[in-house]
Structure 1
Amino acid sequence: MDLGLAPEDETFRQEVRAFLDAELTPELREAGSLTTSVFTDKDWNLKWHKILHAKGWVAPHWPKEHGGTGWSEMQRYIFAAECSRAGAPALSPMGLRMCGPMLMGFGTDEQKAKYLPRILSGDDYWCQGYSEPGSGSDLASLKCRADSDGDDYVINGTKIWTTHAHFANRMFCLVRTDASGKPQQGITFVLIDMDTPGISVEPIITMAGEHEVNQVFFDNVRVPKANRVGEENDGWTVAKYLLEFERGGAYAPGLRVAVEKLKALAGAEADGAGGSLLEGDAFKRKLAAFEVELDAQEITEHRVMTALSNGQNPGPASSMLKVVGTEMRQKLDTLAVEAIGTYAMPMQPDARQPGSNVAPVGPASSMTVVPTMLNNRASSIYGGSNEIQRGIMAKLVLGL
């Protein structure tokens, strides 16, 4: 496979680089460099979101008729790679990458007209109400109940690990509307305003010392049935479609950038024998083995891009990319912790805030390594655990 860029794609890459050079302020780059999770905190990712929206580039994966860019798969790939390389803040995927495409596929005309422009502008900030205590990766076992009452559903129950629920003004949510049949057959997909009476959000502080996830409680929360997406009791169909977009995506561009950062860390770390860790045979072998895997991942992503260019949706390939991409990310995190040595010990959440005047302990480049590693332990769980993904691949790809 030829991974070189066609002349028109190289021209596009130069256009993207010029835009990033002009629009990414030092403050935005700092916020991007201090990001330790899937996306940057709201204040910073929304600032970048609005800059991209003004340019018309905030939704590369959306069709042009809905406000997207109309870019090719390769252009989207280039844009993701250049944003990673430039250190841009990571946008929230909840609206742009999940709720938006789901509404295009299953929403009513009224829902599309109401929500899609607000997702594009950043006026609506979404969170995802899927996981529940006691359900683990068995999403179909959810118990958050929605009882019919006239034109409304009345919701009672709880959701957990709800990323950025403390920032969000909207939630897309799975609720139980029928418990009489198979679990998947009694689930309904609804859109919820987070300021509705009866909703409370309690913080969960992660191992990295950050408030990123939450538990959300529903106490007789009334949601109009007009906010239902798809048919009652058929929310599982909608949820599976949405998860294809959550699980898929390009991992290789971000991993390439992370490898270069790792080389810089290892090059600055003494090996105790007069050289650097990067020069040591043992570390070089680990890094070389990883880069071979990364080449394979990148080629696979390009194959999937070809399929998408021909009008196919991600399907089971999104499961494959999710498994390999997240596990490679975790391998790289382990190497990074090895590279920074004793500087892995300090816990410095205050120093990791953009604009902080708290001096880091050790090199500034080392203080995000362990928080990133701790956050990324969840990457093989959220979006459907990697064990679930392997089951999907066994069934849909291997026919087992």
Structure 2
Amino acid sequence: MTGDERGATGVAFRRWLGGRGALWVGFVLAHGLVVWLNLEAPGLPMGDVTGVYRIWAENAAHGWLRMGIDAPWVYPILAFAPMSAALAFGEAYVAQTWLAIVVLLDAIAFSILIGRAALSRRRRLAAWWWLAFIALLGPIALGRIDAVTVPFAITGLLWAAGRPRVAATLLTIGAWVKVWPAALVAALVIAVRRRLEVVTVAVVLSIGILGVSLLAGSGMNAVGFIAEQAGRGLQIEAPAAVFWLWRIVAGAKDVTIVYDRDILTFQIAGPGAGTAAALTTPLMIVGVLVVVAFGIRAARRGAYLGRLLAPLSLAFVVVLMLANKVGSPQFVTWLAAPVVLGLVLRPSRFVVPAVLAAAIALFTQIIYPYWYGWLLIANPAFVFLLTAKVVLLVAVLVWALRAVWQAGSRRDGAPTIA
């Protein structure tokens, strides 16, 4: 092969890498890797799906107990939909069916992200970042209920400018599967000009979902997830738990890690841990109010949607992660939606949070599921990894708040969502 031929081949290959075909190959490879890890990797990555979700779905299918209807539940009522759907091909294939559902939802969101028009550099960058983020996060990126909400969140944010009612619908549905997308609804209300439409859609849809639940006989169990979450202790992955984990590392005898059989989590037991768990909720409220204040200031000063929505969404999400008594590893999936939006709108500005979020994902996969046992015995290296993860989350929050503040300080042009 001559030099000219090699050069032409290289140019053609680079063009292919920049096209949709390469992106879809990347999608298949990234998701194929994570699907394989979920099914074959050590640490029981699909434990919640096969050991918890499956039991809930089977109990309801046999008419024995419908979680959220006959009894209080830790999740909003729509979380039951994908759990039940995972039984479509029988108990033996629950894990495979669950993964197929999540991959299909991701594929729909991915197709919307890269679009059908000329593929821009920004959307190509955002798409590659999302695939890398999934691979770095590993099994937890697909193997929990949170994974179902991520494609709803990404699509909702991408359509926020041109289709705010559709965006509000998608995000509200996501919030009734797992609460966190409600924060994105709040960001939408603050950032878009057609906020009354967003509020109306969110309220009417929520009333409809609650109404169906009440007709099914749920009573107050339909909102029982609020009390169920409030009653939790301080889980070991929670940012606030780092202090007690380091005390265990230092040899404290009055701090231990215990297993709560009611909610199936490992929690901190020791002086002050209960108080810290109780304080996380008011701390979260304060944090959310601070983000709201920053967002309203920016909106009142005429901040463009393209400058405001992505960092505001990111700030809301990280506050929910940091001021959380649970801190489950799957919460990291929440970072994907605002970062993808930020890379679509302002890629040069969103390099910092994109890199930090990728590092957080990698640290999370190292801790869970493969070597989670080391964290359960407070191994210093894994406590350090968890601490580093918390520090990176704080850095992302500082960056996001600064970006929201700056969005209300300048009125230069900014791109909007195509």
Normalised by the size of structure 2, how large is the TM-score? 0.29
Q: Give the structure, 1 or 2, with the largest relative contact order (CA under 8 Å, sep 6 or more).
A: 2
TM (normalized to structure 1)? 0.30
Which is richer in strand?
1
Structure 1 or 2: more helix by fraction: 2
